Each structure stands twice: as C-alpha cells, then as structure tokens.
C-alpha cells in the first residue's frame, strides 16, 4: 500500500508544483485523506521536489545553458578578452547574478527555521488560511498589474524582491510559484516573464533543500515512506511536472490566474470546514 500512496503523492507533486496552488499544501492535505492519515513530512516533500526541478532544468535547458555560459564568459570580458566581450548589463549575466543573490534569503531562513518548518508551519489551520489569503493577493496582483515588462528587463531590485517573496514558500499553502508570480506581477512583469524567472530562481533553492533533506535522512529513523517509495514518487513527479510546465507556459500567454485564485479560496474554505467539524486534525 505504501507504494500506491507514494505514487499518488508523486502525481500530486508533479501536478501542483508549478501551478500557483502550493504543492506542499496538497501533499500535506493528501496525507490526511489517504489510508493511514499521516503527514508525509517535510523530508518526503523536499526530496520529491528534486524530480520536479529536474523537469525545470530540462524544459528550460537552453535558457539555463545560455545564462550559465554568458555569466562565466563575462569574467573573461572584464579581463580584456575581446573574443568573448560581454557587456556588464547583459540580461543573461544579470539573470545569473539575480538567481544567485535571490536564492540567499530562502537558504538562510530555511536553514535557521527548520524546527518551525517541520512543526508549526505544517498545521492545517495555517495552510487553510494561507491558501485563501495569498490566493486573493495573487488575484489582485494579476488584475491590477501592468503587463509590459519582460524577463530581459529584470532589474536587480526586482529580482531581489522576488527572491524575498520566495521565502514565503517555506509556509505550506503559499506556493513557491504563486509567491514569485505574485511579486513579479505586482512589479509589472508579464505572466510568462514572472513564471520563467520564478522557475529559474527556484532551481538552486529546491535542489539544495532536497539534497540537504536526503543527506540528513541517512541514519535517521525511517519516515512515513522509505527510500524506494520516495524514489517512485520523485520519478512520477518529474514526468508529470514536465508536462505541467509546458501546459502552464502556453496557458498564461493569454489567460489570467483567476481559475487558480478561485481554486485556492475554495480549497482553503473547504479545509476550514473540515477542521472545524473535526473531520481532520490540524497536526
């Protein structure tokens, strides 16, 4: 039965990681509804996210290769190599620096707040409230924002602000993509630009978190799911996540985030009703 549950959780992870509806919240809720009613835990969640981030790397492989290549080559330009001369304000070089700098806040706070992340933040009361509140904020940012700035126009200030918004994703229910897309839209970027930068920004943070949890799990008591089940969930999350990225990037070219806002509010409201009725427990 553990493999079936893990497969379902991997499917949920792949379906929800890139949509602004919070994959960690869905895994947390699903853990209460599946047979056995157990929270899969922060470790399982972080490790399965490695699968979805591999999907990001493959989907955006050309962008990533270009950014890394030009970022490294601009050091040669500063030493006077005319063959590889790249201006300091090159968009790809700037993106490379922004991904590095924008990752620092979530790494520091994520490391220092481990105990809270594993306990208080996983309360379903908090998850329900956050789903609703940040869903409404996403809707307002998407409705009121200008839609003119592209990822090539990303400034250091904006990139850092979106990096700070990513820290909120440590709370299940906020959604990493939701937080970064909301910040990007509020700063006037198009939906594809906000989504693309958010996906690229998440790569080092999610990989770092997943690998940290994987290494940290060695020698520790086995959690709800063992390594075979977690591996199965991770592989499924990768395959499904890749398809979701492709569909989402096409969808947001012409459509708004309104369906996701409505979904978040309905899910959060339903969760509050179930908690109030005592049908499920908050922790």
Measured distance CA(134)–CA(137) in Å, rounded: 5
In a domain, 215, yes or no: yes
Cβ–Cβ under 8 Å, residues 226 and 2:
yes
H-type alpha helices, 153-226: 156-166, 176-186, 191-217
- Look at residue 37 and give its three-state secondary structure: coil
If you compute the radius of gyration of the chain from its CA atoms, what whole number of angstroms results? Answer: 19
pLDDT of residue 83: 47
Axis-axis angle for helices 91-112, 156-166 (nearest 10) = 30
In a domain, 241, yes or no: yes
pLDDT of residue 28: 83
In a domain, 283, yes or no: no
pLDDT of residue 84: 59
Cβ neighbours of residue 218 under 8 Å, at least 6 residues apart? none
pLDDT of residue 90: 87
* Maximum CA extent, the chain: 70
H-type alpha helices, 60-118: 61-78, 91-112, 114-118
pLDDT of residue 38: 66
Return the structure tokens found at 32.
């209460």
Give φ, ψ of 34 to 5 degrees. Answer: -75, 160
- State which residues form the domain around 259: 2-276
Measured distance CA(117)–CA(125) in Å, rounded: 14
pLDDT of residue 115: 79
Q: How far apart, in Å, are the Cα atoms of 87 and each of 59, 91, 94, 162?
A: 27, 9, 10, 24
In a domain, 281, yes or no: no
In a domain, 183, yes or no: yes
In a domain, 147, yes or no: yes
In a domain, 61, yes or no: yes
Tens digits of residue pLDDT in 232-263: 999 999 999 999 999 999 999 889 999 999 99
- Per residue of the chain (283 residues), give pLDDT as tens: 588 888 998 999 999 999 999 988 888 888 778 776 566 777 788 888 889 999 999 999 999 999 999 998 888 755 555 545 777 778 899 999 999 999 999 889 888 887 787 777 778 999 999 999 999 999 999 998 777 889 988 899 999 999 999 999 888 889 999 999 999 999 999 999 999 999 999 999 888 888 877 777 776 655 667 788 888 999 999 999 999 999 999 999 889 999 999 999 999 999 999 999 988 888 7
Measured distance CA(61)–CA(277) in Å, rounded: 47
Secondary structure (DSSP) of 209-238: HHHHHHHHHTTSPP-SS-HHHHHHHHHHHH
Residue 43, Cβ density class (10 Å: 0-12 exposed, 13-18 middle, ≥19 buried): buried
Tens digits of residue pLDDT in 217-229: 776 655 667 788 8
End-to-end distance of the chain based on CA atoms, in angstroms?
23
DSSP 12: H
In a domain, 198, yes or no: yes
Total structural domains within the chain: 1
275 alpha carbon, distance to own chain's centre = 26
**36 in the Ramachandran plot: left (φ > 0), alpha (ψ -120 to 50) or beta?**
left
């Amino acid at each position: 039965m553990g493999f079936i549950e893990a497969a379902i959780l991997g499917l949920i992870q792949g379906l929800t990681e890139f949509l602004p509806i919070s994959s960690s919240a869905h895994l947390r809720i699903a853990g209460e509804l599946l047979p056995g009613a157990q929270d899969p835990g922060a470790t399982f969640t972080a490790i399965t996210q490695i699968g979805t981030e591999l999907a990001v790397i493959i989907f955006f492989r050309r962008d990533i290769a270009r950014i890394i290549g030009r970022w490294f080559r601009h050091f040669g330009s500063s030493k006077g190599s005319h063959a590889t001369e790249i201006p300091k304000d090159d968009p790809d070089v700037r993106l490379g620096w922004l991904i590095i700098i924008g990752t620092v806040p979530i790494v520091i706070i994520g490391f220092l707040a481990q105990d809270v992340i594993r306990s208080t933040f996983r309360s379903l009361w908090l998850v329900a409230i956050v789903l609703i509140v940040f869903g409404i904020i996403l809707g307002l940012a998407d409705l009121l924002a200008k839609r003119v700035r592209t990822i090539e126009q990303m400034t250091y200030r904006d990139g850092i602000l979106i990096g700070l918004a990513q820290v909120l994703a440590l709370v299940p229910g906020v959604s990493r993509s939701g937080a970064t897309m909301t910040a990007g839209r509020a700063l006037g970027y198009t939906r594809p630009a906000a989504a693309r930068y958010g996906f690229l920004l998440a790569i080092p943070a999610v990989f770092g978190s997943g690998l940290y949890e994987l290494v940290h799990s060695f020698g520790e008591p086995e959690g709800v799911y063992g390594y075979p089940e977690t591996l199965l969930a991770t592989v499924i999350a990768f395959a499904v996540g890749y398809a979701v990225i492709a569909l989402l990037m096409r969808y947001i070219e012409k459509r708004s985030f309104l369906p996701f806002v409505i979904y978040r509010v309905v899910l959060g409201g339903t969760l509050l009703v179930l908690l109030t009725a005592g049908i499920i427990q908050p922790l």
